[in-house]
Structure 1
Amino acid sequence: MTRRLPFWPTLIVALAVATMIGLGTWQLQRAKWKEGLLARYAVARTLPVMAFPAVPVEPETLLFRRATGYCLQVTGWSAKAGRNMAGESGWRHIAACRTGGGEGPGMQADMGWSNNPANPAFKGGPVTGIITEDRQKNLILVAESPAAGLQRSLPPDPKDIPNDHRMYAVQWFSFAAIALVIYAVALRKRLRA
Protein backbone atom coordinates (compact mmCIF):
# COMPACT_ATOMS: atom_id res chain seq x y z
CA MET A 1 0.00 0.00 0.00
CA THR A 2 1.47 3.37 -1.00
CA ARG A 3 0.98 6.40 1.12
CA ARG A 4 0.40 9.75 -0.51
CA LEU A 5 1.29 13.14 0.85
CA PRO A 6 -1.71 15.17 1.97
CA PHE A 7 -2.34 17.60 -0.87
CA TRP A 8 -3.52 20.81 0.84
CA PRO A 9 -1.09 20.82 3.80
CA THR A 10 1.80 20.03 1.45
CA LEU A 11 0.76 22.79 -0.94
CA ILE A 12 0.43 25.36 1.88
CA VAL A 13 3.84 24.46 3.35
CA ALA A 14 5.46 24.52 -0.12
CA LEU A 15 4.01 27.95 -0.86
CA ALA A 16 5.07 29.27 2.56
CA VAL A 17 8.62 27.93 2.14
CA ALA A 18 8.87 29.36 -1.40
CA THR A 19 7.69 32.74 -0.10
CA MET A 20 10.27 32.70 2.72
CA ILE A 21 13.07 31.77 0.31
CA GLY A 22 11.92 34.56 -2.01
CA LEU A 23 12.00 37.07 0.86
CA GLY A 24 15.48 35.91 1.85
CA THR A 25 16.70 36.32 -1.73
CA TRP A 26 15.13 39.79 -1.90
CA GLN A 27 16.95 40.77 1.33
CA LEU A 28 20.27 39.67 -0.22
CA GLN A 29 19.53 41.92 -3.21
CA ARG A 30 18.67 44.78 -0.83
CA ALA A 31 21.97 44.21 1.03
CA LYS A 32 23.92 44.60 -2.20
CA TRP A 33 21.96 47.75 -3.10
CA LYS A 34 22.53 49.21 0.41
CA GLU A 35 26.27 48.49 0.26
CA GLY A 36 26.48 50.43 -3.02
CA LEU A 37 24.47 53.29 -1.55
CA LEU A 38 26.69 53.48 1.55
CA ALA A 39 29.82 53.43 -0.62
CA ARG A 40 28.40 56.32 -2.66
CA TYR A 41 27.65 58.24 0.56
CA ALA A 42 31.21 57.67 1.80
CA VAL A 43 32.57 59.10 -1.47
CA ALA A 44 30.15 62.06 -1.28
CA ARG A 45 31.86 63.23 1.92
CA THR A 46 35.15 63.61 0.04
CA LEU A 47 33.77 65.64 -2.90
CA PRO A 48 34.30 69.41 -3.15
CA VAL A 49 31.84 71.80 -1.53
CA MET A 50 28.83 72.42 -3.78
CA ALA A 51 26.09 75.04 -3.82
CA PHE A 52 22.96 73.99 -1.95
CA PRO A 53 20.43 73.11 -4.70
CA ALA A 54 18.05 75.88 -5.71
CA VAL A 55 15.56 73.49 -7.31
CA PRO A 56 14.08 70.25 -5.96
CA VAL A 57 16.25 67.19 -6.57
CA GLU A 58 16.32 63.56 -5.49
CA PRO A 59 17.80 63.59 -1.97
CA GLU A 60 19.75 60.36 -2.53
CA THR A 61 22.06 62.12 -5.00
CA LEU A 62 23.13 64.79 -2.49
CA LEU A 63 23.17 63.18 0.94
CA PHE A 64 26.42 63.61 2.91
CA ARG A 65 27.79 66.19 0.45
CA ARG A 66 29.31 69.36 1.85
CA ALA A 67 27.43 72.36 0.58
CA THR A 68 27.08 76.06 1.07
CA GLY A 69 23.99 78.20 0.85
CA TYR A 70 22.85 81.67 1.79
CA CYS A 71 19.90 82.25 4.09
CA LEU A 72 18.54 85.66 3.07
CA GLN A 73 15.85 85.58 5.72
CA VAL A 74 14.59 83.08 8.30
CA THR A 75 10.89 82.51 7.60
CA GLY A 76 10.31 80.04 10.42
CA TRP A 77 11.89 77.76 13.00
CA SER A 78 11.36 74.20 14.15
CA ALA A 79 13.02 72.44 17.06
CA LYS A 80 13.57 68.72 16.56
CA ALA A 81 15.14 66.12 18.79
CA GLY A 82 18.85 65.73 18.15
CA ARG A 83 22.32 65.41 19.61
CA ASN A 84 25.34 67.65 19.87
CA MET A 85 28.95 66.69 19.15
CA ALA A 86 29.29 65.30 22.69
CA GLY A 87 26.30 63.00 22.09
CA GLU A 88 23.98 64.83 24.50
CA SER A 89 20.26 64.80 23.72
CA GLY A 90 18.49 68.10 23.15
CA TRP A 91 17.05 70.21 20.35
CA ARG A 92 18.26 70.80 16.79
CA HIS A 93 17.20 74.26 15.63
CA ILE A 94 16.11 74.14 11.99
CA ALA A 95 15.70 77.43 10.15
CA ALA A 96 13.42 77.63 7.13
CA CYS A 97 15.25 80.10 4.91
CA ARG A 98 14.31 82.24 1.97
CA THR A 99 17.15 81.98 -0.52
CA GLY A 100 16.15 84.63 -3.05
CA GLY A 101 14.14 85.17 -6.18
CA GLY A 102 11.08 83.41 -4.80
CA GLU A 103 12.10 80.36 -6.82
CA GLY A 104 12.83 76.86 -5.65
CA PRO A 105 12.18 75.25 -2.32
CA GLY A 106 14.30 77.61 -0.22
CA MET A 107 16.63 75.99 2.29
CA GLN A 108 16.29 74.19 5.60
CA ALA A 109 19.36 74.77 7.78
CA ASP A 110 20.17 73.02 11.06
CA MET A 111 21.79 75.99 12.79
CA GLY A 112 22.87 74.13 15.91
CA TRP A 113 21.89 72.35 19.10
CA SER A 114 20.79 73.43 22.56
CA ASN A 115 18.95 71.98 25.52
CA ASN A 116 16.31 74.71 25.12
CA PRO A 117 13.69 74.55 22.31
CA ALA A 118 13.40 78.38 22.11
CA ASN A 119 14.28 79.92 18.73
CA PRO A 120 17.82 81.30 18.40
CA ALA A 121 18.57 84.86 17.31
CA PHE A 122 19.97 83.87 13.87
CA LYS A 123 18.42 86.11 11.19
CA GLY A 124 20.27 84.82 8.12
CA GLY A 125 23.63 84.65 6.42
CA PRO A 126 25.96 82.14 4.80
CA VAL A 127 25.69 78.50 5.90
CA THR A 128 28.19 75.76 5.10
CA GLY A 129 27.64 72.20 6.23
CA ILE A 130 26.64 68.66 5.33
CA ILE A 131 23.43 67.75 3.54
CA THR A 132 21.05 65.32 5.22
CA GLU A 133 17.30 64.76 5.01
CA ASP A 134 14.34 64.59 7.34
CA ARG A 135 11.68 61.86 7.43
CA GLN A 136 9.72 63.58 4.67
CA LYS A 137 12.83 63.53 2.40
CA ASN A 138 13.35 67.31 2.68
CA LEU A 139 17.00 68.31 2.40
CA ILE A 140 18.57 69.94 5.47
CA LEU A 141 21.98 71.60 5.58
CA VAL A 142 23.61 70.81 8.96
CA ALA A 143 25.78 73.85 9.70
CA GLU A 144 29.45 73.32 10.50
CA SER A 145 29.48 76.61 12.40
CA PRO A 146 26.48 76.96 14.73
CA ALA A 147 24.50 80.16 15.19
CA ALA A 148 25.33 82.34 18.20
CA GLY A 149 24.28 80.72 21.47
CA LEU A 150 24.10 77.21 20.00
CA GLN A 151 26.45 74.25 19.89
CA ARG A 152 27.18 72.32 16.72
CA SER A 153 24.63 69.59 15.97
CA LEU A 154 26.02 66.12 15.45
CA PRO A 155 26.60 65.93 11.67
CA PRO A 156 25.15 63.04 9.68
CA ASP A 157 27.45 60.08 9.09
CA PRO A 158 26.87 57.19 6.64
CA LYS A 159 28.24 54.84 9.32
CA ASP A 160 25.04 55.48 11.30
CA ILE A 161 22.89 53.92 8.55
CA PRO A 162 22.27 50.25 9.35
CA ASN A 163 22.60 47.52 6.75
CA ASP A 164 20.86 44.55 8.38
CA HIS A 165 19.61 42.96 5.16
CA ARG A 166 21.97 39.96 5.29
CA MET A 167 20.79 39.21 8.82
CA TYR A 168 17.16 39.40 7.62
CA ALA A 169 18.01 37.03 4.75
CA VAL A 170 19.45 34.49 7.20
CA GLN A 171 16.26 34.78 9.27
CA TRP A 172 14.02 34.10 6.26
CA PHE A 173 16.11 31.12 5.13
CA SER A 174 16.07 29.80 8.70
CA PHE A 175 12.28 30.14 8.88
CA ALA A 176 12.00 28.16 5.63
CA ALA A 177 14.25 25.40 6.98
CA ILE A 178 12.35 25.26 10.27
CA ALA A 179 9.02 25.03 8.44
CA LEU A 180 10.34 22.10 6.38
CA VAL A 181 11.64 20.30 9.47
CA ILE A 182 8.36 20.78 11.35
CA TYR A 183 6.38 19.55 8.35
CA ALA A 184 8.66 16.51 7.93
CA VAL A 185 8.21 15.61 11.62
CA ALA A 186 4.41 15.99 11.30
CA LEU A 187 4.37 13.83 8.16
CA ARG A 188 6.45 11.16 9.83
CA LYS A 189 4.06 10.98 12.78
CA ARG A 190 1.09 10.85 10.41
CA LEU A 191 2.61 8.07 8.31
CA ARG A 192 3.41 6.03 11.42
CA ALA A 193 -0.17 6.31 12.55
Structure 2
Amino acid sequence: MNRRWHRPTLFAWFLLLAGLAAFLGLSRWQWLRGQEKERLLASYAAAQSGGLRQYAALPAQLDSEEYPHIAVQGEYRAGRGYWLDQQVRQGQVGRHAIALFAPRGDSKLMLVDQGWIAAMPGQPAPVWPALPAGEVELHGIYAPPPGGGLRIGGDALPRQNGWPKLTLFLDLPAITADLGSAVAPRLLRLDADPASGYAREWTPAVMPPEKHRGYALQWFSFAVAALVIFIVLHWRKSDKGII
Protein backbone atom coordinates (compact mmCIF):
# COMPACT_ATOMS: atom_id res chain seq x y z
CA MET A 1 0.00 0.00 0.00
CA ASN A 2 1.26 3.48 -0.80
CA ARG A 3 2.72 5.70 1.84
CA ARG A 4 2.63 9.44 1.89
CA TRP A 5 3.93 12.30 3.98
CA HIS A 6 1.56 13.55 6.68
CA ARG A 7 2.32 17.13 7.52
CA PRO A 8 3.63 17.39 11.10
CA THR A 9 1.98 19.72 13.56
CA LEU A 10 3.82 22.76 14.86
CA PHE A 11 4.18 20.99 18.19
CA ALA A 12 5.85 18.01 16.49
CA TRP A 13 8.30 20.32 14.71
CA PHE A 14 9.03 22.06 18.01
CA LEU A 15 9.78 18.75 19.76
CA LEU A 16 12.05 17.64 16.91
CA LEU A 17 14.02 20.87 16.70
CA ALA A 18 14.35 21.17 20.48
CA GLY A 19 15.54 17.58 20.71
CA LEU A 20 18.05 17.98 17.88
CA ALA A 21 19.41 21.20 19.37
CA ALA A 22 19.83 19.58 22.78
CA PHE A 23 21.36 16.31 21.55
CA LEU A 24 23.71 17.91 19.02
CA GLY A 25 24.71 20.60 21.51
CA LEU A 26 25.60 18.00 24.14
CA SER A 27 27.45 15.94 21.53
CA ARG A 28 29.54 18.93 20.49
CA TRP A 29 30.23 19.88 24.11
CA GLN A 30 31.47 16.39 24.96
CA TRP A 31 33.65 16.31 21.83
CA LEU A 32 35.23 19.65 22.72
CA ARG A 33 35.77 18.49 26.29
CA GLY A 34 37.60 15.46 24.94
CA GLN A 35 39.88 17.73 22.92
CA GLU A 36 40.55 19.85 26.02
CA LYS A 37 41.50 16.74 28.01
CA GLU A 38 43.85 15.64 25.23
CA ARG A 39 45.62 19.00 25.34
CA LEU A 40 45.76 18.88 29.14
CA LEU A 41 47.27 15.38 29.24
CA ALA A 42 49.75 16.29 26.51
CA SER A 43 50.76 19.41 28.45
CA TYR A 44 51.19 17.39 31.63
CA ALA A 45 53.30 14.76 29.87
CA ALA A 46 55.44 17.40 28.19
CA ALA A 47 56.03 19.18 31.51
CA GLN A 48 57.53 16.07 33.10
CA SER A 49 60.20 15.85 30.41
CA GLY A 50 60.56 19.58 29.84
CA GLY A 51 63.16 21.99 31.15
CA LEU A 52 63.05 23.34 34.68
CA ARG A 53 61.54 26.75 35.39
CA GLN A 54 62.31 28.67 38.55
CA TYR A 55 59.39 28.91 40.96
CA ALA A 56 60.27 32.50 41.83
CA ALA A 57 59.98 33.49 38.15
CA LEU A 58 56.50 32.04 37.58
CA PRO A 59 53.65 34.48 36.85
CA ALA A 60 51.08 35.11 39.54
CA GLN A 61 48.39 33.41 37.45
CA LEU A 62 49.02 30.25 35.45
CA ASP A 63 46.78 28.89 32.71
CA SER A 64 44.57 26.08 34.03
CA GLU A 65 46.11 23.67 31.50
CA GLU A 66 49.70 24.71 32.27
CA TYR A 67 51.73 22.35 34.43
CA PRO A 68 55.26 23.75 34.69
CA HIS A 69 58.19 21.57 35.71
CA ILE A 70 59.83 23.73 38.34
CA ALA A 71 62.77 24.05 40.68
CA VAL A 72 62.23 25.68 44.05
CA GLN A 73 64.69 26.41 46.84
CA GLY A 74 63.78 26.56 50.51
CA GLU A 75 63.32 24.48 53.66
CA TYR A 76 60.84 21.89 54.84
CA ARG A 77 58.73 22.74 57.86
CA ALA A 78 59.40 19.87 60.23
CA GLY A 79 56.63 18.52 62.45
CA ARG A 80 53.80 19.50 60.12
CA GLY A 81 52.08 17.74 57.26
CA TYR A 82 48.99 15.91 56.05
CA TRP A 83 48.07 12.40 55.05
CA LEU A 84 45.71 12.53 52.05
CA ASP A 85 43.77 9.35 52.76
CA GLN A 86 41.79 6.85 50.65
CA GLN A 87 43.75 7.38 47.46
CA VAL A 88 43.50 4.44 45.06
CA ARG A 89 46.41 3.40 42.86
CA GLN A 90 46.26 0.31 40.64
CA GLY A 91 43.31 -1.01 42.65
CA GLN A 92 45.05 -0.60 46.02
CA VAL A 93 44.11 1.90 48.73
CA GLY A 94 46.78 4.17 50.14
CA ARG A 95 47.76 7.69 51.14
CA HIS A 96 49.70 10.63 49.79
CA ALA A 97 52.16 12.29 52.15
CA ILE A 98 51.74 16.07 51.84
CA ALA A 99 54.65 17.91 53.45
CA LEU A 100 55.03 21.64 54.04
CA PHE A 101 57.80 23.63 52.39
CA ALA A 102 58.86 27.25 52.84
CA PRO A 103 60.20 28.56 49.51
CA ARG A 104 63.05 31.03 49.77
CA GLY A 105 61.80 34.62 49.56
CA ASP A 106 58.10 33.67 49.61
CA SER A 107 55.70 34.24 52.50
CA LYS A 108 53.40 31.41 51.33
CA LEU A 109 54.00 27.83 52.35
CA MET A 110 53.94 25.22 49.59
CA LEU A 111 52.30 21.82 49.82
CA VAL A 112 54.69 19.14 48.54
CA ASP A 113 53.32 15.75 47.50
CA GLN A 114 55.94 13.18 48.49
CA GLY A 115 54.02 10.46 46.67
CA TRP A 116 51.70 7.52 47.35
CA ILE A 117 52.17 4.64 49.77
CA ALA A 118 49.86 1.70 50.52
CA ALA A 119 47.74 2.11 53.66
CA MET A 120 44.79 -0.21 54.13
CA PRO A 121 42.01 0.80 56.56
CA GLY A 122 42.48 -0.74 59.98
CA GLN A 123 46.21 -1.23 59.55
CA PRO A 124 48.93 0.85 61.24
CA ALA A 125 49.69 4.13 59.52
CA PRO A 126 52.75 4.14 57.26
CA VAL A 127 55.91 5.86 58.43
CA TRP A 128 56.08 9.55 57.56
CA PRO A 129 58.84 10.18 55.00
CA ALA A 130 62.20 11.43 56.26
CA LEU A 131 62.61 15.03 55.15
CA PRO A 132 66.01 16.69 54.71
CA ALA A 133 66.98 19.48 57.09
CA GLY A 134 68.32 22.81 55.93
CA GLU A 135 67.94 24.43 52.54
CA VAL A 136 67.29 22.11 49.61
CA GLU A 137 66.18 22.40 45.99
CA LEU A 138 63.09 20.47 44.95
CA HIS A 139 62.08 19.51 41.42
CA GLY A 140 58.59 18.53 40.34
CA ILE A 141 55.34 19.37 38.60
CA TYR A 142 53.55 22.44 39.93
CA ALA A 143 49.90 21.42 39.64
CA PRO A 144 46.50 22.27 41.12
CA PRO A 145 45.55 20.16 44.14
CA PRO A 146 43.34 17.14 43.42
CA GLY A 147 39.61 17.73 43.63
CA GLY A 148 37.61 16.15 46.43
CA GLY A 149 34.42 14.16 46.38
CA LEU A 150 31.42 14.51 48.65
CA ARG A 151 32.61 16.22 51.82
CA ILE A 152 30.64 14.73 54.71
CA GLY A 153 31.27 15.80 58.28
CA GLY A 154 32.81 19.18 57.57
CA ASP A 155 36.41 20.18 58.18
CA ALA A 156 38.10 17.50 60.33
CA LEU A 157 41.44 19.31 60.66
CA PRO A 158 40.63 21.47 63.74
CA ARG A 159 39.54 18.33 65.64
CA GLN A 160 43.00 16.74 65.30
CA ASN A 161 45.86 17.60 67.64
CA GLY A 162 48.67 15.37 66.39
CA TRP A 163 50.73 15.66 63.23
CA PRO A 164 50.62 14.65 60.47
CA LYS A 165 46.87 15.21 60.22
CA LEU A 166 44.53 13.00 58.23
CA THR A 167 42.27 14.42 55.51
CA LEU A 168 40.21 13.12 52.61
CA PHE A 169 40.73 16.22 50.45
CA LEU A 170 43.08 19.16 50.11
CA ASP A 171 40.98 22.21 50.82
CA LEU A 172 43.42 25.12 50.58
CA PRO A 173 41.32 27.59 52.62
CA ALA A 174 40.87 24.98 55.35
CA ILE A 175 44.62 24.22 55.36
CA THR A 176 45.40 27.94 55.49
CA ALA A 177 43.16 28.29 58.55
CA ASP A 178 44.65 25.17 60.12
CA LEU A 179 48.23 26.38 59.70
CA GLY A 180 47.56 30.05 60.37
CA SER A 181 49.65 30.80 57.30
CA ALA A 182 48.93 31.44 53.64
CA VAL A 183 49.63 28.57 51.23
CA ALA A 184 50.47 28.60 47.53
CA PRO A 185 47.51 28.02 45.16
CA ARG A 186 49.11 24.84 43.79
CA LEU A 187 51.12 21.96 45.16
CA LEU A 188 54.42 20.46 44.05
CA ARG A 189 54.35 16.85 42.86
CA LEU A 190 57.93 15.71 43.29
CA ASP A 191 59.88 14.03 40.52
CA ALA A 192 60.16 10.26 40.77
CA ASP A 193 62.76 8.87 43.17
CA PRO A 194 62.90 5.06 43.60
CA ALA A 195 64.82 5.49 46.86
CA SER A 196 61.95 7.41 48.48
CA GLY A 197 59.70 4.37 48.89
CA TYR A 198 56.77 6.41 47.56
CA ALA A 199 55.12 6.02 44.16
CA ARG A 200 55.26 9.18 42.08
CA GLU A 201 53.39 8.57 38.84
CA TRP A 202 51.56 11.78 38.13
CA THR A 203 48.61 12.16 35.80
CA PRO A 204 45.71 14.61 36.14
CA ALA A 205 42.64 13.05 37.76
CA VAL A 206 40.30 13.78 34.85
CA MET A 207 37.88 11.85 32.68
CA PRO A 208 39.81 10.28 29.76
CA PRO A 209 39.31 11.83 26.30
CA GLU A 210 38.05 8.48 25.00
CA LYS A 211 35.13 8.55 27.42
CA HIS A 212 34.20 12.08 26.33
CA ARG A 213 34.22 10.95 22.69
CA GLY A 214 32.04 7.98 23.62
CA TYR A 215 29.50 10.30 25.25
CA ALA A 216 29.65 12.58 22.19
CA LEU A 217 28.81 9.64 19.92
CA GLN A 218 25.99 8.61 22.26
CA TRP A 219 24.36 12.05 22.15
CA PHE A 220 24.78 12.20 18.38
CA SER A 221 23.06 8.81 18.06
CA PHE A 222 20.13 10.20 20.09
CA ALA A 223 19.82 13.03 17.55
CA VAL A 224 19.79 10.55 14.66
CA ALA A 225 17.23 8.39 16.46
CA ALA A 226 14.96 11.40 17.06
CA LEU A 227 15.08 12.31 13.36
CA VAL A 228 14.34 8.72 12.28
CA ILE A 229 11.39 8.46 14.67
CA PHE A 230 10.02 11.76 13.39
CA ILE A 231 10.19 10.56 9.77
CA VAL A 232 8.66 7.15 10.56
CA LEU A 233 5.74 8.73 12.43
CA HIS A 234 4.88 11.05 9.56
CA TRP A 235 5.64 8.86 6.55
CA ARG A 236 2.77 6.44 6.95
CA LYS A 237 0.31 4.39 4.99
CA SER A 238 -2.23 6.60 3.32
CA ASP A 239 -5.25 4.76 4.68
CA LYS A 240 -4.43 5.56 8.28
CA GLY A 241 -5.32 8.72 10.13
CA ILE A 242 -2.87 11.25 11.31
CA ILE A 243 -1.63 10.79 14.83
Counterpart of 1:47? Answer: 50
- 2:221 equivalent to 1:174: yes
Let me know the Cα RMSD of the aligned residues.
3.7
Q: 1:184 aligns with which of 231, 234, 239?
A: 231
Gaps of 5+ in 2: 120-124, 148-171, 173-184
Q: Percent identity?
A: 26
Task: Give me the whole-angstrom Cα distance separating, in 2, the residues matched to 1:159 and 1:79.
Answer: 18
Q: Which amino acid aligns with 1:14?
A: L
Q: What is the total number of aligned residue pairs between the two structures?
A: 188
**Paired residue secondary structure (2:229):** helix
The alpha carbon displacement at 1:55 in A equals: 6.2
Q: Is the 8 A contact 1:93 1:111 kept in 2?
A: yes
Query: What per-residue deviation string (whole Å, max 9, x for no partner) do you get for residues 37-82 of structure 1?
Result: 333333322211222356643263542x432223424274121144
Task: Give me the whole-angstrom Cα distance separating, in 1, the residues matched to 2:55 and 2:110.
Answer: 8
Q: 1:122 aligns with which of 112, 131, 147?
A: 131
Counterpart of 1:154? Answer: 200
Aligned residue runs from structure 1 range 10-159, under 5 A = 10-53=13-56, 56-58=60-62, 60=64, 62-63=66-67, 65-74=68-77, 76-80=80-84, 81-82=86-87, 88-103=92-107, 105-114=108-117, 115=119, 116=125, 119-122=128-131, 125-135=136-146, 138-144=185-191, 151-157=197-203
- 2:7 equivalent to 1:4: yes
Task: Give me the whole-angstrom Cα distance separating, in 1, the residues matched to 2:87 and 2:200.
Answer: 8
Q: TM-score, normalised by structure 2?
A: 0.60
Task: Give me the whole-angstrom Cα distance separating, in 2, the residues matched to 1:154 and 1:160.
Answer: 17
Q: 1:23 to 1:189 in 2, by over 3 A?
A: same
The alpha carbon displacement at 1:107 in A equals: 1.4
Q: 1:33 to 1:172 in 2, by over 3 A?
A: same
Q: TM-score, normalised by structure 1?
A: 0.72
Q: Is the 8 A contact 2:113 2:188 kept in 1?
A: yes
Q: Is the 8 A contact 1:13 1:180 kept in 2?
A: yes
Gaps of 5+ in 1: none
Q: Which has the higher contact order (CA 8 A, sep 6+)?
A: 2
Q: 1:79 to 1:189 in 2, by over 3 A?
A: farther
Task: Give me the whole-angstrom Cα distance separating, in 1, the residues matched to 2:40 and 2:111.
Answer: 24
Q: Is the 8 A contact 1:17 1:179 kept in 2?
A: yes
